A and B are shown apart, each in its own frame.
Chain A
Amino acid sequence: MSLKRAQELPDAGIITEAGNAVDFKTGDWRTYVPQFHEENCIHCMFCWIYCPDSAIDVDTSGDKPQMKGILLDHCKGCGICATECPPAAKGKAALVMVREEK
């Protein structure tokens, strides 16, 4: 998003570009990052439905949706996905939270 001059702004705090928050990267808030272990993933989409930040990358082109990984631009590292991951209950977590290194 480019900065506008005062005269170019719309009136009364109207935001004309719908969904432009996608340009705002919240990924740098993160301390922990979910690590994706594809071999354990059952593609149940629980991480996708429970993610507060729309940060789960899913490929919906095929017959069955496929979990591809985490969108790190927006993931805040809350860990809800790793907590709700069903294979984690069987000790074969597809998502594991690890401290992010610089």
Chain B
Amino acid sequence: MALSLKEMVKHEDLLTGGHRACAGCTGANILRQIMLTAGPNTVMGGATGCMEVVTTIYPYTAWKNSFIHSAFENVAATISGAETAYRSLQKHGELPQAAADAERMNFIAFGGDGGTYDIGIQALSGAMERGHRMVYVCYDNGAYMNTGIQRSSATPFGAHTSTAPAGSVKQGKEQDRKDLTEILVAHNIPYVAQTTPFHWKDLATKVEKALSCGGPAFLNILMPCTVGWGFPMERGMQIAKEAVETNFWPLFEVEDGVYKINKKPKERKPIADWMKEQARFRHVFKPGNESMLEHAQQWVDQQWDLLLKRETMTNM
């Protein structure tokens, strides 16, 4: 069970200040929250992306625990290799056997949506299939924010990005976003979950479950990006909260194939409420684009209904 804030505050902050994330970056907060639960006995690997760059600008590192970075596409392979090396060294007596499960080293890989949905998906799929005891965390901000807001397969329909811009010819991204969480569920791994940094208790619980599930686990965490999404820097956590309230980003977990929705909003807030706050959707509210808004709402409703059905189906 996750701890209360009064107990969690006694844990050591393993991501120090002085990293160069933008003011109001919820991604840096996600990593901080993960490390508060994971503890110092953790090997972290980062795919190239905002969070890798800002935390380890040479000669500084914001990590107090071990951290590896190799390349954009292979963080899952890197961490699965580190995990295998750890097991091998234990087997050959080079490292002491962990007396209790809790004393075992944690292996966590993280990547943005670019490094996970697009570029790193084959390394991720391979690592999950091989059954390494590791957690893969995707912080999904819905575009390649580090290189200047290019579209990714996680970018939602209609969003303005530098490679799918809204102008006189086109109106932002024309495709719906890919459902990576479902792809990971299809790997039949012990634990898959979705959460946001606003729901700190949910996040801590899910990190704990992922680390102790005994096999590969995947967490998809929504990361509102003040620069790429275009909202005031103090609003990041509220945007994450509203993403859950509008069903754009449902909080759910899949344990051994069984779905559980952690939060069911009492009344569905329209997705327009959430989109209105973000500059990347500004053109969607212009006259003539009503059908786009309709499509966005339809898509969210359809995904939510599917999720409800999956929950019912797997709990029969």
Contacts and interface: CB of A to CB of B under 8 A. Distances in A.
B8 interface: yes
B16 to A, nearest CB: 4
Interface in A77-102: 77-80, 82-84, 97
Size bin of chain A's contact surface: 35 or more
A97 B233 CA distance: 12
A38 interface: no
A65 to B, nearest CB: 5
A82 B234 contact: yes
Contacts of A58: 9
Interface of A: 1, 13, 15, 17-26, 29-30, 44-46, 48-55, 58, 60, 64-65, 71, 73-80, 82-84, 97
B61 A18 contact: yes
A101 B17 CA distance: 23
Interface of B: 5-6, 8-10, 13-29, 32-33, 55-65, 197-198, 200, 226, 232-238
Contacts of B57: 21
B8 A20 contact: no
Nearest to B21: A52
Nearest to A45: B5
Secondary structure dominating the interface of A:
loop
Contact of A73 (B17, B61, B226): B17
Contacts, number: 127
Given A50-B197, A52-B25, A54-B32, A79 B9 contact: no
B29 A52 contact: yes
A84 B60 CA distance: 30
Contacts of B238: 83
Contacts of A52: 21, 24-29, 32
A18 B56 CA distance: 10
Contact of B17 (A44, A71, A79): A71
A55 B17 contact: yes
Contacts of B16: 19, 21-22, 54
A55 B62 CA distance: 13
A84 B237 contact: yes
Nearest to B19: A21
Nearest to B201: A49
Contact of A49 (B22, B33, B58, B65): B33
**Those 8 A-B pairs whose CB atoms lie nearest each other, nearest first:** A74-B17, A79-B234, A78-B24, A76-B23, A21-B18, A21-B62, A19-B64, A24-B18
Nearest to A64: B6
